Amino acid sequence: MASLVRYVIRRVLFMIPVFLGVAILTFFVGNAAGNPIDLIRAGLRNPSPAVLKALQAYYHLDQPVWLRFLYWLWDLIHGNLGVSISGRPVLSQIGPWTFTTLELQVLSLVLAVAIGIPIGVFSAKHQYSKVDYTITTVAIFGYSMPTFWLGIMVIIVFSFYLGWFPSNGAVSVSYPWWGSWVLDPIAHLILPTAVLTYVSLATIVRLVRANMLEVLRQDYILAARASGLSERTVTYRYALRNAISPVVTIIGLGFGAALAGAPALETTFSWPGLGYAFTQAALALDIPLVQGITIVITIMVLVANLVTDLVYAVVDPRVTVQ
Amino acid sequence: MAWRRFRRNKSGLIGGAIVIFFILVALAGPYLVAYPPRSYQSLYEGDAGDPPSFKHPFGVEISGIDVFSETVDSTRNDLYVGLAATLITTLIGVAIGALAGYFKGAVSDILLGVTQMFFVIPVLLLILLFARVFSILVFKGLGLTLIVLILSFFGWSGIAFIVRGETLRLKEMEFVQAARSLGARPFRLLFRHIVPNILSPVIVIATLDIAGFILTEVVVSFLGFGDPNTSTWGLLLNEGFPYVRTTWWVALFPGLAVVFCVLGFNLMGDGLSDALNPRLRE
């Protein structure tokens, strides 16, 4: 137990330099985009000198850049992400986006794990069978596909051609889908969730299959079988427990990758989440907003990694011993 | 020996064939197509927005770009991004991984920390931010090479991890100790004795990385952060997406090219992995 606590502390401490690294990269590159006041000014009609002066003071533009970074970091640590060039505070804009993004990501992840692990086990148990070939082929296609492109194809078929599901947004504007405002968000959720689930599923199936194949070949599996245990017990109790720990890591990393991939998928479905907002903000050079979204996603990824490490430590206690 | 094993691996061979096909298309591209890159000539021929036909096998964009010519021309540029970025990241990754694995102390700890950092951060967001800022405001005119450099800057951590792990394993083995007792210096030990012995996992990861970089470039261009003057599959998808309801062919065909190209490298990487690490085979 003590080793587990020490392990957790070590992982949390590791997050600090990583967070700082991302903060430094986003701040200085964002800073290279130019003077934020010029960008704000483009949106104002005849700004008075007093307004400009206030903005200058707000962004500390009379200070050297490293001092500005410290100001920015200080605000960041205190939960102040600044004001986007549209004039609204970044944090209050980001809140709802975070929720819609997580709704899509978490649902897909849960589905991918729940479906992917049994499929991977089945595929490994029936190695080189027809079903196994089909599963691995379908999986490697998912692994080789740009997620957003699959999204476009799905929209063409199921939304434009068949007209079964909406093609964009998280809720309808005027008329609800399927004739009900309760069902409407579900109708919007189905296509993006299906696409993201399939792509995450592919990675999980591949990995579970490969690990199971390796574990099933071990002597202790033979011993377990020889002692008369049922095939089910051998597969799920003995083999899967040992095959699952690398999968836990990949699920954590995959969640991070999926979050980082959100800009493309959410743009395809006009899904009002962090990724779509990030794309729009970056194209408009709304640097405070871009920095804010990057920081929020980084925090979510780091927390996901921490949770993964914890689960890993519980599944495989050896990792807590250094 | 490895080639004999690879040859028996059907999916690896299919992958290799796909890769060779795309390389041939990239090389022969200019001789295969009727229109030069980024040409709106079909507009003047009155074919803008036409569906696939004998004259335009993949159809025409609303703006008048022939999708088949553009898809073929993009092959060269997308392969360039994948190969160049992989070459750079492999060099960086092997150097950093070998140093971090071989030496002990503060420098090695810092290298490991930086590697871990690049491994967990959401790199795609930073790639987009870098591409946007640098292409507009700082390094104008670098074109796709800017994308290659940005992808490389963020893409080396995977290889570094593998190389570090293998170096840690190998540096205590007898042949390395023998060379050390004969008086070999650390750098000679590392780059003459250790690194050549970890090339097989590096080759596998590099092959898979080519696929990964191509996919990332497609995303970058699709979202409008790429080079608007160079033909890439992602740029075609970017231009086709707003009109996808009417001209679905602009989104379909370049996407298929991406899928098969990436699939080829992934299958080849898996095949190489089986051929070079026979331990995993039955």
Instruction: Suggest the residue from A13, A19, A27, A152 to mutate for an interface test with chain B (most B CBs closer than 10 A).
Output: A152
pLDDT of residue B89: 94
* CB-CB under 8 Å, B259 with A144: yes
> What does residue B120 show for φ and ψ, rounded to 5 degrees?
-100, -20
pLDDT of residue B137: 66
pLDDT at B43 over 80: no
* Nearest-by-CA chain A residue for B124: A260
Mean pLDDT calculated for residue range B16-30? 89
Burial class of B2 by CB neighbour count within 10 A (0 to 12, 13 to 18, 19+): middle
pLDDT of residue A40: 63
Query: Under a CB-based contact definition with an 8 Å cutoff, are residues A307 and A12 in contact?
Result: no
pLDDT of residue A189: 85
User: Cα A8–A12–A13 angle (5° rounding)?
Assistant: 115
Query: Under a CB-based contact definition with an 8 Å cutoff, are residues A243 and A212 in contact?
Result: yes
pLDDT at A52 over 80: no
Extract long-range pairs of B46-52: CB within 8 Å, 24+ residues apart: B49/B246, B49/B247, B51/B247, B51/B249, B52/B249
Of B120, B129, B270, the CB nearest to A18: B120
pLDDT of residue B262: 93
Region of B49 on the Ramachandran plot (φ > 0 left; ψ -120 to 50 alpha; else beta) = left
Contacts of A152 in chain B (CB under 8 A): 237, 241, 244, 251, 255
pLDDT of residue B138: 61
Span A218-271, pLDDT tens digits: 888 788 888 877 777 778 777 887 777 777 877 777 787 778 778 888 888 888
* 3-class secondary structure per residue, chain A: CHHHHHHHHHHHHHHHHHHHHHHHHHHHHHHHCCCHHHHHHHCCCCCCHHHHHHHHHHCCCCCCHHHHHHHHHHHHHCCCCCECCCCCEHHHHHHHHHHHHHHHHHHHHHHHHHHHHHHHHHHHHCCCCHHHHHHHHHHHHHHCCCHHHHHHHHHHHHHHHCCCCCCCCCCCCCCCHHHCCCCHHHHHHHHHHHHHHHHHHHHHHHHHHHHHHHHHCCHHHHHHHHCCCCHHHHHHHHHHHHHHHHHHHHHHHHHHHHHHCHHHHHHHCCCCCHHHHHHHHHHCCCHHHHHHHHHHHHHHHHHHHHHHHHHHHHHCHHHHCC
Number of residues written out for chain A? 322
pLDDT of residue B19: 92
Of B124, B244, B266, the CB nearest to A143: B266
Contacts of A278 in chain B (CB under 8 A): 125, 128
Span B81-114, pLDDT tens digits: 999 999 999 999 999 988 888 888 888 888 888 8
Q: What proportion of chain B, given as a percentage, has pLDDT over 70?
A: 95
The span from the CA of B271 to the CA of B227, in Å, is 33
Q: How many CB pairs under 8 A join A and B?
A: 136
Shortest CA gap B36–chain A (Å):
25
Which residue has better confidence, B274 or B19?
Answer: B19
Which residue has better confidence, B117 or B61?
Answer: B117
* CB-CB under 8 Å, A30 with B129: yes
Q: Band of the pLDDT at B278, cuts 50, 70, 90? A: low
Which residue has better confidence, B187 or A116?
Answer: A116
* Nearest-by-CA chain B residue for A255: B122
Contacts of B121 in chain A (CB under 8 A): 18, 21-22, 298, 301
Mean pLDDT calculated for residue range A177-183? 71
Shortest CA gap B253–chain A (Å):
11
Nearest to B81 by CA among B194, B227, B278: B227
The span from the CA of A85 to the CA of A13, in Å, is 34
